[in-house]
Amino acid sequence: MTDAQQTQQIAEILLTVGAIFLAGLVADLVGRHTPLPRVTLLLLAGILVGPSVLDLLPPFTDHWFPVLTDIALAMIGFLIGEQLTPDSLRKLGRRVLILSASKVLLASACVFAGLLLIGVGLPAALLLAGIAPATAPAATFDVVHESGAQGEFTQTLLGVVAIDDAWGIMIFTVLLSVAQALSGDGGESGELLRAAWEIFGAIGLGALLALPMAYLTGRIERGEPTQAEALGFVLLCSGVALWIEVSYLLACVTLGAVVASLAKRQRRPFRAIEGIEWPYLILFFLLAGASLHLDALSAVGLIGAAYILLRSAGLYLGAQLGGRLGGAPPTVYRWIGLAVLPQAGVALGLALVAAHAFPELEGLILPTVFGSTVLFELIGPIGTRFALRRAGEV
């Protein structure tokens, strides 16, 4: 590469990053004066400049998205963990566990039963039922952060989305194993062990790294040293989790929860991460929008429409049932089903795993999940903001 080509490439990178940050500023300003959350606006901006419409982004941005996804979700997982201290869990723990388990199970059951009724084959129904409970913690968290919501409903919501994907991974693994057993592929015991390692290994890793982090917090100067400490441990946690193949989101949630419980000045690292997360989220959400292909929506037929309706109904009914069983006030169980509609990266990852395990179902599973994800990513944050307002905590 010549010096002129290198200079040209650097100029393209700087122009792209600068334009994306300014788009984030516009989304933030517009979001303050419209019903649309800035997450949805950034996703729409990403779709506009992405390959589906104007195709303005340089090719090298394709390589940014996986890394930005890991960084953004690691930060969000750590910040969610702050809500899961012993005091919070004593107040909300039983409620959060019951609510989360109930809505995950009902979403999966509704999708499974409904798809069977309209004639979808048993393996495909099992796989889509396993994917349905997955949520999008990044979108939910940012709507809460943007709106400044605080209160019982908000704490419950953040607690629920913090553990939803753990339940979802377990259910998907079990249903994938059942589908493989029914098709004669076997391998179910290995899949269950892998799922157990992914979940409990993540919890162990987060707790292990939290001990030195909690010791350092409050013993070094606030400001830039604390920022370096917080970012270093969060990225180290996510990197090790990816390396040993456990859930980096759950590991970072555990890291945040243990640090918030044990640290001498527990709020310092969380405020430090909050101070630098938004630029990463701007890049993440806009590039996520660019990765959404509108032609996936056209591929969603009867099965895709049924999946969207059944998942939404299952989340709502599960929240109603779990909230009542867990003793939650009506404000919580009436609106939390609407607040957890966003669905993103975890669902896409599970869909790819399912398609790899059942190549003959790839043409059904991938368009259904990809198309519904576009819809849930766009309308889900709107539902989250509406639910927060109806709960009276904005």
What pLDDT score was predicted for residue 294? 65
What pLDDT score was predicted for residue 370? 75
What pLDDT score was predicted for residue 317? 92
Q: pLDDT per residue over 268-325, tens digit each?
A: 888 888 778 778 878 877 887 777 666 655 656 788 889 999 999 999 999 899 888 8
Taking all residues of the chain, what is their mean pLDDT, rounded to a whole number?
Answer: 81
Angle between helix 122-131 and helix 86-117 axes, rounded to 10 deg = 160
Domains and CATH numbers, the chain: 64-390 (1.20.1530.20)
Q: pLDDT per residue over 258-272, tens digit each?
A: 998 887 666 788 888
Question: Against a cut of 0.85, is the pTM above it?
Answer: no
Q: pLDDT per residue over 186-209, tens digit each?
A: 555 566 677 678 778 888 999 999
Q: Is the pLDDT of residue 349 over 70?
A: no
Whether the Cβ atoms of residue 325 and residue 393 lie closer than 8 Å to each other: no
Q: Which residues make Cβ contacts (< 8 Å) with residue 265, sequence separation at least 6?
A: 217, 218, 222
End-to-end CA separation in angstroms for the chain: 52
Classify the C-alpha dihedral 316-249-77-367 as positive or negative: negative
CA 318/CA 301 separation, integer angstroms: 26
More confident residue, 147 or 256: 256
